[in-house]
Amino acid sequence: MDVIEELKAVRGRDIPYSRVLSSMCTVPHPVAAEAHSLFIETNLGDPGIFVGTMELEKKVISMLGRLLGNKNAAGYISSGGTEANIQGIRAARNLKKVDKPNIVIPKSAHFSFEKIGDILGVEIRRAKLDENYCVDVSEVEKLVDDNTVALVGIAGTTELGQVDDIKELGKIAEDQNVFLHIDAAFGGLVLPFLDEKVPFDFEVRAVSSITVDPHKMGMATIPAGGILFRDETFLKALEVETPYLTTRFQYTLTGTRPGTGVASTYAVLKHLGYDGMKGIVRECLRNTRTLVEEMKTLGFEPVVEPVMNVVSFHARDASRLKDELYRRRWVISTIREPEAIRMVIMPHVNEEMIKEFISDFRQMLIRLGYLS
């Protein structure tokens, strides 16, 4: 068999996005895929060769910066949210230079912060949440000490899509003279398009860095994460010398890195514009409300009313439900506290898909004796 035929068969064993309700990634926008193909050879690790692509990255960072309250933001398109969070925390650690650095993060922070703690040798202190599953700011305050280099706020938690009180976190960060990194990997391309503005970005004075991933709600191709800093001084804290390249310093975590994410991010933002993106977000939120209504008819109540297109529903036997759905080739996920099933209503999750899911789920619940 020809290798391309063989690879098509491999892809056939993957579950298609039309059955995926658990992922914060989605089918790339057609214009993203087209842009991606044009840049398939590019390597931003060598900016003296890829001069045009490098200029484009600067433009993309400036576009993202403008969306996030700081047109002078410095940063780059990374391999994803984990690299972006590593770099945000690494810059804080390198600038603070304490002996036994720690960071204070919400209990709701993404699991990758455990990885980041291990990689960077930074102690991770997890602050409890309040009744809305946002970080309890007084708990954060208690955990800060002289070795704290940064606080982390989440704008769009992985489990519930909640946004921490970034303004209050900002006050603590200023009082204690520590950095404030915002993980808006998901929410960074949702919140700017909501009618009701939530303060979470560089407009909050204490915010020093923001993770925002175009390969999530930006419908860019993978890999396209993003790390934005308030200014260039943070990039300096990450630099190493590069003797053989066409440039003298490198602030990225990776060396060789694709220009595809830059191109696909640019293509989507430019093609859709602010209003187009707003339309996509509006549609996702409308579908989220539809899903919540449908789930209520099956007896499921949301853990919190969703502010964005992530929602979890209280469920006994959450893991079993997930596994049974998976056997039927539907992918959802679960959370542990409280026990719940979780869904993300990405742009590929349209009304028709929701109806099909609800219908299959209803039949399954009846078969398993949860519903009559």
Residues 102-141 that bind a second copy (CB under 8 A): 110-112, 114-115, 118-121
Site for a second copy in 327-366 (CB under 8 A): 331, 333-336, 342
* Contact flag: residue 27 with a second copy (CB under 8 A): yes
Cβ of residue 69: shortest distance to a second copy, in angstroms?
Answer: 25
Binding residue (CB under 8 A) for a second copy from 40, 98, 368, 371 = 40
Would you say 206 or 220 has its CB closer to a second copy? 220
Among 64, 86, 190, 220, binds a second copy (CB under 8 A): 86
d(CA 24, CA 80): 12
Per CB under 8 A, 21 contacts a second copy: no
Scan residues 146-205 and list those touching a second copy (CB under 8 A): 158-159
Select 54 or 354, whichever has its Cβ closest to a second copy. 54
d(CA 212, CA 224): 9
Q: How far is the CB of 175 from a second copy (least distance, A)?
A: 28
C-alpha–C-alpha distance, residues 142 and 127, integer Å: 9
> Cβ of residue 121: shortest distance to a second copy, in angstroms?
4
Hey, which residues between 260 and 279 contact a second copy (CB under 8 A)? 263, 266-267, 270-271
Asked if 34 touches a second copy (CB under 8 A), the answer is yes
CB of 247 vs a second copy, minimal distance in Å: 11
Site for a second copy in 294-323 (CB under 8 A): none
DSSP 300-359: --BSS--SSSEEEEE-TTHHHHHHHHHHTT-B-EEETTTTEEEEE--TT--HHHHHHHHH
99 binds a second copy, rule: CB under 8 A: no
| 258, 44 Cβ separation under 8 angstroms | yes
**CA–CA distances in Å: residue 72 to residues 1, 64, 134, 218, 350:** 53, 10, 29, 20, 36
CB of 170 to a second copy, least distance (A): 27
One-letter amino acid at 204 equals V
User: Residue 106: CB partners within 8 Å, gap ≥ 6?
Assistant: 126, 127, 129, 134, 135, 140, 152, 153, 154, 157, 164
Q: What is the C-alpha to C-alpha distance for residues 184 and 203, in angstroms, rounded to an integer?
A: 14
CA–CA distances in Å: residue 60 to residues 53, 57, 193, 275: 10, 5, 17, 17
Q: Which of 55/293 has CB closer to a second copy?
A: 55
Tell the smallest beta-carbon distance from residue 305 to a second copy (Å). 20
How many residues touch a second copy under the rule CB under 8 A: the total is 93
Residue of 70, 79, 209, 288 interacting with a second copy (CB under 8 A): 79
In the complex with a second copy, the residue whose CB is nearer, 126 or 215, is 215
Q: What is the 3-state secondary structure (H, E, C) of 272-289?
A: HHHHHHHHHHHHHHHHHH
User: Using CA atoms, how far apart are residues 9 and 12, in angstroms rounded to an integer?
Assistant: 5
Q: Pick the binder of a second copy from 38, 98, 366, 371 (CB under 8 A).
A: 38
Residue 353 C-alpha from the chain's centroid? 23
Q: Within positions 199 to 258, which residues make up the interface with a second copy, using CB under 8 A?
A: 213, 215, 221-223, 225, 240-246, 250, 253-258
Task: Report d(CA 334, CA 321) in Å as an integer.
Answer: 9
State yes or no: residue 15 binds a second copy (CB under 8 A).
Answer: yes
